[in-house]
């Protein structure tokens, strides 16, 4: 996510890292480049007859639920490092078969690190790769650094080289396996990154360059530098692009943001991380008026025009609001957003007609902005899990901060979850949480002229920033109404 969108019930740390990463990446684009890109919006750009394109990469990331930044073994959702090769192969076969059946995907991107390759888990983890390729999938294996320094550089060069020696030795003769030397190398300058990757190519010269995927510079956010590097000629390139990198709400603005990052190298570039919230009720058929629906519209239009592959982040990651699927059984995935999937499939080139509509892009709602803090009542990490406790966070126009006060006096988020009082639902100090909307008394609220939000169940209790806190992460609870500004909430 992410970096990245980003979202386990995504750990707060991981989500905010992705948002910060994207903000830095977005800032590098000059105004002139954006204007130029907006002016050049090709209809359906034909791929180079000489070079071809990457459209055949119709894929998803299969990610560790903790995020792939890990110092220990990375274990994709649905697998267990205690399982044998045979058990892992059986589980992986069920999941990748669902990627094909439910999504029509043909590519999987998997994380690796020295702890995954240099431990007992590697003997079993190979089964995930083998099950994928044996079922006809292409597999991109990508190195992720650990979760301690997270400085965008290889953690331990000796261990890194040993890891790649092992992986390449195992899979260099498998034409369906592709090698991505590093995910998001933001700690390197362009020259340093070209030097590292060209060295990688020399060390593994027996791997065809057409099966090596070189990440763009920064947070994989721009491929023009690596595309122009003669040392990397013949390789594929990878680009990351996320909707939390800007606050635009039109497809045209997102097209202007994206196209300069690609330049003339779309024909050899795979967008191997891109994603949006898929569990928050967004309608991806309408590309105007919402950050994420306009972003995904621009992403898929660009990929379709330039015949670029997309490897969505993520296809499966337990608890991640961006996840395209949820695992409901060992061999059963359910799609989280039909409109999101349809838009992705159009970008993959699988649909003849773009699945657009005129319905609202997002469920109705407004923020609850604290008068004292100027921060918004927030569902951490876009969680959809009932019982998730709310807090304050910087207002960001996200669907996890949009509350619709209904005729039944419910404050509804995502179109299907309600703000509720946790615990017994009647005591001062009880947390504010999300829950399935049931019409229960602890889910009913009055929005008052003095900007207080009072419980219908117990009108003496007000929605409250705990302890008068104003900072990001401050808990939201209910407390005896006292007229203080930490109990006042503006609806804009």
Over residues 137-174, the pLDDT tens digits come to 999 999 999 999 899 999 999 999 999 999 999 999 99
| 41 pLDDT more than 60 | no
421: tokens are: 């009082």
Quick one: DSSP state of residue 103? I
Q: What is the pLDDT of residue 51?
A: 67
Per residue in 423-465, pLDDT (tens digit) is: 887 899 999 999 999 999 999 999 999 999 999 999 999 999 9
Give CA–CA dist 111/74, Å, rounded: 7
The more confidently predicted of residues 11 and 407 is 407
Give CA–CA dist 153/215, Å, rounded: 13
Strand partners, 327: 333
Average pLDDT over residues 366-371: 98
Q: What is the pLDDT of residue 228?
A: 98
Q: What is the pLDDT of residue 272?
A: 98
The more confidently predicted of residues 25 and 290 is 290
Quick one: DSSP state of residue 261? H
Contact predicate 333/323, CB 8 Å? no
Per residue in 386-400, pLDDT (tens digit) is: 999 999 999 988 899
Instruction: Name the helix (H) or strand (E) containing 419.
Output: strand 417-421
- Write down the H helix ranges in 307-362: 338-348
Average pLDDT over residues 368-385: 95
Per residue in 477-492, pLDDT (tens digit) is: 999 999 999 999 999 8
| 2 pLDDT more than 90 | no
Average pLDDT over residues 401-423: 95
| 40 pLDDT more than 50 | no
- Specify the residue for token string 């808990």: 475
Q: What is the pLDDT of residue 209?
A: 98
Instruction: Name the helix (H) or strand (E) containing 125.
Output: helix 121-134
Domain 369-490 has CATH 2.40.50.100: no
| Residue/partner pairs of 423-427 with CB below 8 Å, 24 or more apart | 425/457, 426/455, 426/457, 426/458, 426/461, 427/478
Per residue in 178-234, pLDDT (tens digit) is: 999 999 999 999 999 999 999 999 999 999 999 999 999 999 999 999 999 999 999
User: Where along the chain do its domains lie?
Assistant: 12-348, 369-490
The more confidently predicted of residues 324 and 45 is 324
With 0-12 CB in 10 A as exposed, 13-18 as middle and 19+ as buried, what is 45? Answer: middle
Contact predicate 429/478, CB 8 Å? yes
Percent of all residues in the chain with a pLDDT value above 90, rounded to a whole number: 86
| 45 pLDDT more than 70 | no
| 47 pLDDT more than 70 | no
Give CA–CA dist 316/65, Å, rounded: 9
| 17 pLDDT more than 60 | no
Phi, psi angle pair for 420, to nearest 5°: -135, 160
| 332 pLDDT more than 90 | yes
* CB count in 10 Å sphere of residue 209: 14
pTM surpassing 0.95? Answer: no
Give CA–CA dist 402/415, Å, rounded: 10
Describe the strand order of the beta sheet including 391-393 as a list of residue ranges. 391-393, 376-378, 369-370, 489-490
| 49 pLDDT more than 90 | no
| 25 pLDDT more than 90 | no
Phi, psi angle pair for 333, to nearest 5°: -115, 145
Instruction: Name the helix (H) or strand (E) containing 24.
Output: helix 12-27
Q: What is the pLDDT of residue 26?
A: 42
Average pLDDT over residues 238-249: 96
Contact predicate 130/86, CB 8 Å? no
- Specify the residue for token string 């040993």: 162
Q: What is the pLDDT of residue 397?
A: 83
> What is the dotted CATH code of the domain comprising 12-348?
3.20.20.80
């Amino acid at each position: 996510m992410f970096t990245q969108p980003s979202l386990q019930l995504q750990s707060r740390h991981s989500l905010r890292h992705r948002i910060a990463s994207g903000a830095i990446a977005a800032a590098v684009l000059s105004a002139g480049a954006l204007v130029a890109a907006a002016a050049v919006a090709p209809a359906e750009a034909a791929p180079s007859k000489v070079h071809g394109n990457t459209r055949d990469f119709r894929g998803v990331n299969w990610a560790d639920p903790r995020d792939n930044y890990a110092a220990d073994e990375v274990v994709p959702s649905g697998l267990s490092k205690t399982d044998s090769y045979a058990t892992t192969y059986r589980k992986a076969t069920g999941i990748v078969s669902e990627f094909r059946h439910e999504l029509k995907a043909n590519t999987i991107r998997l994380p690796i690190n020295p702890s995954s390759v240099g431990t007992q888990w590697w003997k079993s983890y190979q089964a995930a790769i083998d099950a994928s390729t044996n079922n006809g999938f292409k597999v991109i294996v990508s190195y992720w650094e650990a979760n301690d320094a997270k400085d965008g550089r290889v953690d331990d060069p000796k261990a890194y080289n040993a890891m790649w020696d092992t992986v390449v030795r195992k899979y260099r003769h498998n034409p369906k396996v592709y090698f991505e030397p590093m995910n998001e190398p933001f700690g390197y300058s362009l020259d340093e990154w070209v030097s590292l990757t060209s060295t990688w190519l020399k060390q593994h010269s027996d791997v065809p360059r057409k099966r090596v995927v070189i990440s763009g510079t920064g947070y994989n956010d721009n491929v023009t530098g690596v595309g122009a590097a003669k040392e990397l000629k013949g390789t594929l390139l990878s680009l990351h692009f996320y909707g939390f990198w800007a606050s635009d709400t039109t497809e045209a603005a997102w097209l202007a943001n994206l196209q300069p990052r690609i330049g003339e190298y779309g024909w050899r570039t795979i967008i191997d991380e891109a994603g949006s919230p898929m569990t928050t009720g967004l309608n991806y058929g309408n590309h105007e008026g919402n950050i994420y629906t306009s972003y995904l519209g621009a992403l898929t239009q660009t990929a379709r025009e330039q015949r670029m592959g997309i490897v969505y982040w993520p296809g499966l990651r337990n608890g991640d609001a961006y996840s395209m699927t949820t695992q409901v059984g060992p061999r059963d995935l359910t799609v989280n957003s039909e409109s999101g999937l349809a838009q992705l499939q159009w970008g993959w080139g699988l649909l003849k007609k773009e699945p657009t509509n005129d319905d609202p892009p997002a469920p109705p709602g407004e923020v609850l902005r604290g008068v004292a803090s100027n921060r918004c009542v927030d569902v951490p990490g876009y969680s959809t899990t009932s019982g998730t406790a709310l807090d304050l966070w910087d207002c960001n126009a996200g669907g996890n901060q949009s509350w619709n006060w209904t005729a039944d006096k419910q404050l509804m988020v995502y179109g299907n979850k309600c703000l509720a009082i946790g615990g017994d639902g009647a005591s001062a100090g009880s947390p504010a949480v999300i829950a399935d909307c049931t019409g229960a008394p602890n889910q009913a609220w009055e929005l008052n002229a003095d900007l207080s939000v009072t419980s219908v169940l117990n009108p003496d209790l007000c929605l409250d920033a705990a302890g008068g806190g104003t900072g990001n992460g401050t808990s939201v609870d209910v407390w005896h109404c006292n007229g203080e500004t930490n109990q006042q909430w503006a609806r804009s």
